Structure 1
Amino acid sequence: MFRDSRSYTILVIDDNSGDRLLIETYLEEAIKAPKIVEAKNFAEANLILTQSPKYFDTVLLDLSLPDKSGENLIMEILRIAANIPVIVLTGYSDMAFGRKSLSLGISDYLLKDDLNATNLFKSIIYGIERNAASQRIYDSEKRYKELFHLSPIPMWVYEMGNLGFLDVNQAAIKHYGYSKEEFLSMTIRDIRQKEENNFLDNAIETSTSDGEINHLGIFRHLKKNQEIIDVEISSNILDFNGLKAKLVLANDVTQRRRYIEAIEEQNVKLKEISWIQSHVVRAPLARMMGLINMLTEDDDFSDSEKKIFINHIIESGHELDKIIRNISNKTENINIPEK
């Protein structure tokens, strides 16, 4: 028979020395070097498991101990053993009780009369692997919950059938102003303006692929204080406790959009100023330069003619001053908000 070379530490809880010897023989047939710890009653098992709760790979439990037995014994051992797989070994072929034992949370239920090295080893491996798979699922769910609830960006889960909120993270509670209880009594329509319901329906219909992140675009949401915000929505379909649901990430882009709009508005003003400088300013300036050149290059003008030239220069100066003031006013109106 193949013998597993991996290390296994097994607690055998049985008051019958003959049964313990037989169990240990089966273990040594299937495993090269099993580490076996014995307990003859519940009190010993309780002490061993309490002192070393994570030391054992599996527990083999006889149902009839001198100080405890039956369902009560199973419940106590499961409580103390925590996540360690517990395999019940019994001489009683009570299938009804066997099924009940499995429902309580034991890994397997084996009859001592049918026991051999092969089925005992298979049961141990099955229990260990199932426990490891359960732990992986638990760890995955724990990571999801941490990512969800600790995210600084508002997130929620809603049921795709009735659009009701199923869960919501702390960031959403803080940002939107609703309590968790209020959220869970609402639907996603309650945080949207009524005129956007058609956009919402279209977005829901076009994002039905499981496991695929959908970037739905930017929508207008309504906070509890009636403030309207722009949010960029991404979503993914998932199973939430048996319900077809959608996980939504809502990134508030209100300030970013206002910043971009302000920059675009200022760019228009700057282009207008640039056009004024290159076209409107040039006319009075060219006129002034021409009049000044005529006065400086020709000394034959009479005093009355010179006065006319000077009046034209002054008029051009006033016109130029007015244009410059207009440019200055436009410049003062350029006010890009802080991010």
Structure 2
Amino acid sequence: MNKDTKPYRFLVIEDNPKDFMLLVHYLLKHISNPSIDQARSFEEAASCLQSSKRGKYDILFLDLTLPDKSGEELISSIVGLCSWCPVIVLTGYTDFVFSTKSLALGVSDYLLKEELTPFNLYKSVVYNIEHKHILSELEESESRYSKLFHFSPQPIWVYETDTYRFLDVNQAALDHYGYSRKEFLAMTVMDIRPPEDIPQLKAAAKNFQQKKTTFAGVFRHLKKNREIIQVEIYCNTIQYKGEDAKIVLAHDISENLKNIKAIRSQNQKLKEIAWIQSHVVRAPLARLMGLVKLLKIQKEKDQVQQEFFDMIMDSATELDDVIHEITRKSEQISLEE
């Protein structure tokens, strides 16, 4: 069998020279050139870990009976110093309860010295390094998405599908709705809706549950100060800490709707002004233009009168063109509903 050529780096915390040499011998059976440091006490191990850079070691082997510390206290202290590194316990004690508790304290593996073989040791090394790598990636991914959730400028929350209970909420939602995190997490989705809108909420939730797709819609929400706002929400299904849940992004469109209403009102006023110009102002103007034409067809008139009539007619025609243009533009005013 070809030896593993990866540049493994090990720290062995072991005060027994024979056990240390046996461990080194077993490691060299399957690994060609590992880097192996030894600490004979907790104090030496702590000094080594505190002075070394994070990630210096791939695996830490730990004997549970050292001259200055042992048992649970030793495990807790070592794990606290190197949370980034897998810790494999090597012991002669066959206490199943203690081995289980050790794993709960943060140990990656628990191996009995009497049952140790070169292959089992190598397998534990490879498995625990890869397992730690996967866990680190998961933690990094969770941290990244947690930051996206909590630092989003838009209100976002997660609620439990069956009970409508809030499971998590970001700072933007707390700021916008006026509740503290403790208050928000003690409520349900129904608590931020006007009472008369609850049937609509249940119907929408039931419809969404049946379709199992992304849901979007506009609903009325209720702030802590009892202000009712119009909110456009986007909702999707997720698994949150083992529970079926929904994640919701909420966008307050109350101001947008007010602006649209104001624009519609202004458009209506413009249309009314255009109608007045077209029907009220234009009527007497048309009569004036007609009278000027009648006067112009009279045969007896001097040159000065003719010039005056022409000037009046030109002005009336110009005003008529202006009114016509205003009317034409007003007819183009439209707002998509």
How many angstroms does 1:149 deviate by?
1.4
* Offset of residue 260 of structure 1: 2.4
Counterparts of residues 291-310 of structure 1 (less than 5 Å): 291-298=291-298
In the alignment, does 2:100 pair up with 1:85? no
Q: CA deviation at 1:199?
A: 1.8
Residues 189-233 of structure 1 deviation map (CA, whole Å, 9 limit, x = unaligned): 1211222222211221122379x7623211111112222211110
Q: Cα distance, 1:275 vs. partner?
A: 4.3
The size of the alignment, in residue pairs, is: 311
- Taking the aligned partners of 2:215 and 2:257, their CA distance within structure 1 comes to 17
Deviation at 1:38, TM superposition (A): 0.9
Q: Which residue of 2 aligns with 1:184?
A: 185
C-alpha contact 1:216 1:235 (8 A) present in aligned 2? yes
Aligned to 2:304: none
Q: Is the 2:214–2:237 contact (alpha carbons within 8 Å) kept by the matching residues of 1?
A: no
CA-to-partner distance for each residue in 1:7-28, whole Å, 9 max, x for gaps? 2111011112222112112212
Opposite residue 74 of structure 2, the aligned amino acid is: L
- SS at structure 1 position matched to 2:4: coil
- What code does the residue aligned with 2:66 have? L
CA distance in 2, matches of 1:215, 1:92: 57
In structure 1, list runs of 5 or more residues that go unmatched: 302-312, 335-339
Distance 1:175 1:102 in 2: 43
2:47 counterpart residue number: 47
Check if 1:284 corresponds to 2:268: no
For the pair 1:33 / 2:33, whether they are aligned, the reply is yes
Asked if 1 retains the 8 angstrom alpha-carbon contact of 2:219 and 2:233, the reply is yes
The CA deviation at 1:47 is: 0.7
The percent of aligned pairs where both chains have the same amino acid is 51
Tell me, yes or no, if the aligned pair for 2:215 and 2:236 is still in contact at 8 Å.
no
The aligned amino acid for 1:41 is S
Distance 2:210 2:147 in 1: 25
* Structure-2-length-normalised TM-score: 0.83
**1:98–1:180 distance in 2 versus 1, CA, 3 Å:** closer
Match of 1:249 in 2: 249
Judge conservation of contact 1:39–1:45 (CA < 8 Å) in 2.
Answer: yes
Aligned-residue CA RMSD (Å): 3.0
Counterpart contact for 1:165–1:183, Cα < 8 Å: yes
Residue aligned with 1:208, SS: helix
Is the Cα–Cα contact under 8 Å of residues 217 and 232 in structure 1 kept in the other structure? yes
Q: Deviations over 1:243-295 (max 9, x none)?
A: 32221111011112222233334334434444444454443222110101222
Q: Take 1:153 and 1:145, find their aligned partners in 2: how far apart are those partners?
A: 14
Match of 2:223 in 1: 223
**1: distance between equivalents of 2:213 and 2:47?**
51
How many Å apart are 1:86 and its aligned residue? 0.6
For 2:196, the equivalent position in structure 1 comes to 195
Which deviations, in whole Å up to 9, do the C-alpha atoms of 1:271-326 show, x marking residues without a partner?
Answer: 4444444454443222110101222331569xxxxxxxxxxx9xxx9xx9xxx9xx
Corresponding residue for residue 166 of structure 1? 167
Residue of structure 1 in register with 2:154 after alignment: 153
1:124 is matched with 125
Task: State the partner residue of 2:113.
Answer: 112
Q: Which residue of structure 1 aligns with residue 138 of structure 2?
A: 137
What is the CA-CA distance between 1:146 and the residue it aligns to? 1.1
**Aligned residue identity for 2:51:** Q
Q: Which amino acid aligns with 2:251?
A: N
- Residues 209, 237 of structure 1: 8 Å contact kept: no
SS in 2 for 1:127: helix
- Distance of 1:40 and 1:225 partners within structure 2: 64
| Alpha-carbon spacing, 1:190–1:70, altered in 2? closer, same or farther (3 Å) | closer
- Contact residue 191 and residue 223 of structure 1 kept, 8 A: yes
Residue number in structure 1 paired with 2:77? 76
SS at match of 1:238: strand
Structure 2 counterpart of 1:259? 259
Q: Tell me the CA shift for residue 91 of structure 1.
A: 2.3
Q: Does 2:22 match 1:15? A: no
TM norm structure 1 = 0.82
Instruction: Specify the alignment match of 1:95 in structure 2.
Output: 96
